[in-house]
Amino acid sequence: MIRTVRFHELGGPAVLRIESLPERAPGPGEVRLRVQAIGLNRAEALFRRGEYTQKPEFPSRIGYDAVGVVDAVGPDVRGIQLGSRVATIPAFLMSQYGVYADAAVVPAHAIAPWPESLSAEEAASLWTAWLTVWGGLVKQGELHADDWVLLTAAASSVGLAAMQTARAAGARTIATTRKAAKREALARAGADRVIVTEEDDLVARVLEITDGRGADVLFDAVAGPGFDALAGAMGSGARLVLYGYLGGLKTPLPFVPMLRKGLTVRAHSVFRTTNDAKAMSEAREYIMGGVQRNAFRPLVDRVFSLDDVVAAHRYLEASEQVGKVVVSTQS
């Protein structure tokens, strides 16, 4: 029997249950791994509440990011060996394949490397964050050296990955946070400048930092009503990339700034990368190269046990973390 996290109704963290389910063998095109660590994502909290792009089918599994050791390979699977240390990527339906468990069966195309230089907790924090950054900031954001990159939700695992990616490309970052308590932590994590939005005039500060030109790229996890104001902080020809909607799905289009400054607004989903074999090959090479050069290294904020998964989700939604919230199955 395998400890598996499922939920039978929509709601807050308390709806998550740890259940004992029979272990199953992988079918055609599937792989099973013994899970060592699980990286939590905001998408999973939205999924649990019924606010995600995927809808749960009850009883629903949950979770995208896990690392572990392959202990079974299904028919027709090639190139994945028993005993390999691997990670999973978001390339499946959570209801069917969610990885919050001691052992997880996932499609073989959802397997990625576990870099040797990273611990289990770090490796569980790598792939969703950097795949989002590669597709959203590097590709759609057309990241260039000397760009000023404006980041919202900068203390998230994606925000921190964006800082490291921008620095590796020769760009500079302006990290925004609502909480003054995160200012120093974001500076230590690599932000070139930090703006606390509850204290500072965001537009005025961005223009001051950039000597009046405005930011070149916006990488935005929030969207919602504040998106219009963010456009005021952008420079001529800037690229605005939305990859999340923590501020709500109703997002005003900043039409006047778009006209006046020649702005482009783009939306990005990590599935645009994970569902495209060619893009995944390019992204995998880019990310593994960054890890090998020690330019990319995930920051883990806190590790919970699988038995404390409800507390882990409460902590995730409290937005106190700087970096990834991780659940360990090792006890």
In DSSP notation, 49-77 reads HT-SSS---SSB---SEEEEEEEEE-TT-
CA distance 89 to 127: 6
Q: Distance (Å, rounded) from C-alpha 250 to C-alpha 177?
A: 21
Q: Binning pLDDT at 50, 70 and 90, where does residue 331 land?
A: low
Distance from the first to the final alpha carbon of the chain:
17
247 band by pLDDT with thresholds 50, 70 and 90:
confident
Other beta carbons within 10 angstroms of residue 267's beta carbon come to: 16
Mean local confidence (pLDDT), 119-145: 98
Among the residue ranges 60-74, 114-128, 189-203, 240-254, the one predicted with the least confidence is 240-254
pTM of the complete model = 0.96
Q: Tell me: the pLDDT tens digits for 201-216? A: 999 999 999 999 999 9
Indicate the length of the chain as a whole number.
331
Q: Kindly list the domain boundaries of the chain, sorted by start residue.
A: 2-126+298-328, 129-271
Question: CATH topology of 2-126+298-328 equal to that of 129-271?
Answer: yes
Topology of domain 2-126+298-328, CATH: Quinone Oxidoreductase; Chain A, domain 1 (3.90.180)
Q: What is the pLDDT of residue 246?
A: 84
Residue 30 has pLDDT above 70, yes or no: yes
For the 129-271 domain, the top CATH level (class) is alpha beta
